[in-house]
Structure 1
Amino acid sequence: MNQIADILKLAREAQQQQVDAVLATVVRTEGSAYRRAGAMMLICEDGRSVGMISGGCLEPHIIKRAFWLTRDGANVQVTKRVTTSNMLKMVMCERAYQKRVLTLIEVVIIRAQDNKYDEQDIDLDELNFGLGCNGRVHVLFERLATAMSLLNVISQVGSLSSQRQLICSTIHFNTQHNPNSELQIGVRLNLNNYIKSGKLTAIDANNSDKVVSNASSTVIHAIESLSDISFSIKMLSTLSKMTMTMTIPTEWLIQRLQPQIRLLICGAGNDVMPLVTMAKMQDWHVTVVDSRAQYATQRRFPQADSVMVLALDDSDTLLKLSKNAAIALMSHSLSQDRARLGVLLEHANHYKYLGQLGPRYRTERLIEEISTRLTNPASLNLGIKKLHYPIGYKLGGDGPEALALGIMAQVNAVVHNQNLSTENSDTHLSNTNFTTLFSTHIDSIETTATSARAAINLS
């Protein structure tokens, strides 16, 4: 499982065992940081924890202070790492704002001779592990009772076979520290509901949408702007820069939640086994089909979610299984590949990815055979453009494991609309069912989009 799945599992266990926990979420980063906005970590009061919000340098200190930081409610911590030639200790500087459930903790690396801070609770080996990013990380802390609203939504979205996406926003920091603000830290708004119905709703702890009544025109204006941004995400692949100015000094984290990637593998040979294993490590939903009953058995693929014997003429089931899925044709059988490919090429808008195993000339011969049997060969054109053959990236190495790694990388890039043609790109791939689109500062937004699914970094 990936970290999101692990967090959901531990959260459920903590609830059942009546063990309190704190969810830590990175809501903004400045400069270099190991994890981007959206990274999460769950800390239980009995000592269990899962997830990472840094490379390991912040977690020990966060675990020690998570429950104290959330003693009065949701909390934002700003962690700053400054590279110096003589880094020996970490200082926690607290600034509290009256009448507001907010505490800013700024962690700074200082020199040893500056002795005006207490050195207790500092482990130098622990401190030096992972240092060097020279960035700042903003982390939102919430008790489990509050955070379960988001976790429940993630769990629900992850189980949607229709591949619908839910967009919600977390209000994590008000720069004016206004105690009377309608927008409190940790409030999550369902932007999809606003786009569809015009109703401003907050996702409460019971995982139901609660209408936010008497919201001011200023708040409505902010939500409308955020909704417009999130609704226009699909256009970011052709957008190089987006700038917006507003008067509300509030920072938002906009999150797009999507179901897990569904991988359909047509073929049940031995070289499919590593692909199934790697896909399940990423928490993908995996289905293996083959027309040969002796190969398509659950015993051969115990990690797969489903293993089916699928007849070559069963086009209806093939289309049902391939809806919004990534498809890998790996049967090593001309008759199987011809039958599957013929159906799928004519339904190019049905799936997210299609890859064919085998040399290029073999696939081209299959396409030619398929087209000669059609009255309208042009119907294959879109499917052919969408087809990846030979399947997978050539990353080096040999054998089924290297093939599986190349397929995983290509599927992940295509599903997330990543363009990997540019060398030394700073684009970060995401392969979970939780994706942060961008973190915005409402009074001055300037974001740069590298692709439709790339993380958008604040300037």
Structure 2
Amino acid sequence: MSNQISDILQLADQAIATDTEAVLATVVHTEGSAYRKPGAMMLICADGQSVGMISGGCLEPHIIKKALWLTRNGPVVQVYQTGEDLPEEGAAKTQAVDDIEFSIQTELNFGLGCNGRVHVLFERLDTARAYLETIRQVRQTQQPVTMATLIRSQEASHPVGLHVQLTSDSNAVQVASANNITADCDELINQAIQSLSAKYVSAKHSANHIGSGLTQKPTEQKPTDFATITSVAQQDITQPVQTQWLVQQLQPQKRLLICGAGNDVQPLVRLAKMQDWHVTVIDSRSHYATRSRFMAADQVQCVALEDTQTLLALSQNAAVALMSHSLTQDRARLQVLLANPPLYLGQLGPKYRTERLIDEIKQAYQGDVNGLEQGIDQLYYPIGYKLGGDGPEALALGVMAQISAVMHGKENTLSASINAKEMKHASQPKAASDRRYKDRWAAQ
């Protein structure tokens, strides 16, 4: 899900409440270079309001202008080509293209030089409302959902824009949109849905799941997939029908728990919220953990050091940053979290300070030492990448960069941009910003 989901849901609620016409535009497929990935959304209202982005700002003016007109007869997929510039005069800027055995689509060449194609599904809000509601439920319940959206079919009667929720029981697929399937295409659509369910959510095909489970360590996996399904009607087995689908693993908001409510936490909260993360700030000092100091955070709580149950509940399926500047607080929180590692755990402060805390925790620990060692191996300290700069904002940028890389499974695949002068590649930021406790012993 894109980073403007909160704004899209809010504007959708406003449009429904005021009975304002609106169109949801969703990237459903890309070819070549594209600024946004499949699943990116934008909501356009008839009163001129819009939120979200489906490109770097290049396609949005056209989309805002044409969205309502494009959907006058129902949902439609539009293809935008971001190739080389067209001549300024004399050349048409639109062309019809036969999209490989499927129905003719309109392709618009924007001459952006990106050499890609972006397929965008346009649907009125009354059609997309149930789909958006499913996204809202995923965020509220913290339970991921696998969705499939029909984006193209060889059969003209198939409803483009049909959203279905895939389940492990292929016979219990729930339609998550306002589209109605006609009796004529019901058999072919059901065949396709059963095939998608078997491939993406069946326990027998778990290796084909897209995205990563909430309780698993993040891995580099695609949150979306593009599937082509061939179905055959019993009354005409000589005429197989192909359908193309966008398959999405709708995941809950990524969660960040910050233990410590100092002033340097404020820019980290703002930066995480800009990316649509759910952010909780806790501190055992009531005069620090106040709503007035962290207006952007989703939750601000005063949590006693002895309240380990609340700490564990808040850290479940979350990234945790320990930033209290207090040895007492950090020691208490770190001991609990090393024994129960979250998806990411980072400790602020110099290397020797964190190793002192670890030594003290190990000496006093009475539980399973092996379990504690596993947590230590997963600890990032000092927290964040060393990106340069000074002050809380620079720290927040480095911390959020590291957390984002780890949570998206990109930690070991980071690469530098190609430098025109040196033409060198770097695998990831310097190791000094990502030291682990075990490195100290490996060097001895």
Scaled to the shorter chain, the TM-score interval is: 0.7 to 0.9
Aligned equivalent of 2:182: none
- Please give the secondary structure, in 2, of the residue aligned with 1:53: coil
Q: Does 1:150 align with 2:131?
A: yes
CA distance in 2, matches of 1:385, 1:395: 23
Is the contact made by 1:159 and 1:260 (CA closer than 8 Å) also made in structure 2?
A: no
CA distance in 2: counterparts of 1:57 and 1:279, whole angstroms: 26
Q: Structure 2: which amino acid aligns with 1:135?
A: G
Does 2:309 correspond to 1:316?
A: yes
Deviations 1:397-454 (A, max 9, x none): 111111111111111222222235442489xxxxxxxxxxxxxxxxxxxxxxxxxxxx
Query: Residue 115 of structure 2: which of 134, 156, 173 is its match?
Result: 134
For 2:274, the equivalent position in structure 1 comes to 281
In structure 2, what residue type is equivalent to 1:372?
Answer: Q
* 8 A Cα contact 1:358 1:391, kept in partner: yes
The corresponding residue for 1:204 is 177
In the alignment, the residues of structure 2 paired with residue 11 and residue 243 of structure 1 have an alpha-carbon distance, to the nearest angstrom, of 27
Residue 364 (structure 2) pairs with residue 377 (structure 1)? no
Residue 225 in structure 1 maps to residue 203 in structure 2: no
Which residue of 1 is the match for residue 156 of structure 2?
179
For residue 416 of structure 1, what is the aligned residue in structure 2? 408
For 1:16 and 1:66, the matched residues in 2 are separated by 20
How many correspondences in the alignment?
A: 387
Q: Secondary structure at the match of 1:33?
A: coil
Letter of the 2:244 counterpart: E
What's the secondary structure of 1:404's corresponding residue? helix
Assess if the C-alpha contact under 8 Å between 2:24 and 2:122 holds in 1.
yes
- TM-score calculated relative to the size of structure 1: 0.76
- The equivalences for 1:287-306 within 5 A come to 287-306=280-299
Q: Is the 8 A contact 2:21 2:125 kept in 1?
A: yes
1:365 and 2:366 correspond: no
Specify which of 383, 397, 401 is matched with residue 391 of structure 1. 383
Q: Deviations over 1:23-46 (max 9, x none)?
A: 111111111222221121111112
Q: Deviations over 1:214-243 (max 9, x none)?
A: 565465334423434652654995999x99
**How many Å separate the matches in 1 of 2:226 and 2:62?**
37
Answer whether contact 1:167 1:230 (CA < 8 A) is retained.
no
SS at match of 1:141: strand
Superposition map of 1:23-422 within 5 A: 23-84=24-85, 86-88=87-89, 91-94=93-96, 104-108=105-109, 131-160=112-141, 163-174=142-153, 176=154, 178-181=155-158, 184-191=159-166, 193=167, 195-196=168-169, 198-205=171-178, 217=191, 220-227=194-201, 228=205, 231=209, 233-234=211-212, 237=219, 247=230, 249-348=242-341, 351-375=342-366, 376-422=368-414
Quote how far apart the aligned CAs of 1:317 are.
1.6
Contact 1:75 1:103 (C-alpha < 8 Å) held by counterparts: no
Q: CA deviation at 1:386?
A: 1.7
Match of 1:270, SS state, is coil
Offset of 1:373 from its aligned partner? Answer: 1.3
What is the CA-CA distance between 1:72 and the residue it aligns to?
A: 1.3
Q: Which runs of 5+ in 1 are unaligned?
A: 110-127, 207-211, 427-459
Instruction: Give the aligned residue type for 1:373.
Output: A
SS at match of 1:204: coil
Higher relative contact order (CA 8 A, sep 6+): 1
Identity of aligned residues (%): 52
User: Which string of whole-angstrom CA distances, capped at 9 and with x for unpartnered residues, describes residues 354-390 of structure 1?
Assistant: 1100111211111111111123422201211221111
After superposition, the Cα gap between the structure-2 partners of 1:320 and 1:142, relative to the gap in structure 1 and judged at 3 Å, is: same
SS of 1:86's equivalent?
A: coil
Alignment-mate amino acid for residue 34 of structure 2: A
User: TM-score normalized by structure 2?
Assistant: 0.79
363-372 or 417-426, which moves further after superposition?
417-426
> In 2 relative to 1, CA 346–142 (structure 1 residues): closer, same or farther, beyond 3 Å?
same
Per the alignment, residue 433 of structure 1 pairs with: none
SS at match of 2:54: coil
Q: Partner amino acid for 1:24?
A: A
Partner Cα separation in structure 1 for residue 5 and residue 397 of structure 2: 21
* C-alpha distance in structure 1 between counterparts of 2:147 and 2:190, whole Å: 19
CA contact (8 A) 1:90 1:107 kept: no
Contact 1:77 1:103 in 2 (8 A): no
Q: Which moved more, 1:228-237 or 1:197-206?
A: 228-237
What is the alpha-carbon distance in structure 2 between the residues aligned to residue 260 and residue 401 of structure 1?
A: 23
C-alpha distance 95-72 of structure 1, shift in aligned 2 (>3 A): farther
CA contact (8 A) 1:90 1:108 kept: no
Q: Give the root-mean-square deviation of aligned CA atoms.
A: 3.1
- In structure 2, do the counterparts of structure 1 residues 52 and 232 end up closer, same or farther at CA, with 3 Å as the change threshold? closer
SS in 2 for 1:57: coil
The one-letter amino acid of 2:364's match is R
Alpha-carbon contact 1:24-1:42 (below 8 Å) kept? yes
How far apart in 2 are the matches of 1:298 and 1:84?
51
Give yes or no for contact 2:171–2:194 (8 Å, CA) kept in 1.
no
Code of the aligned partner of 2:149: T
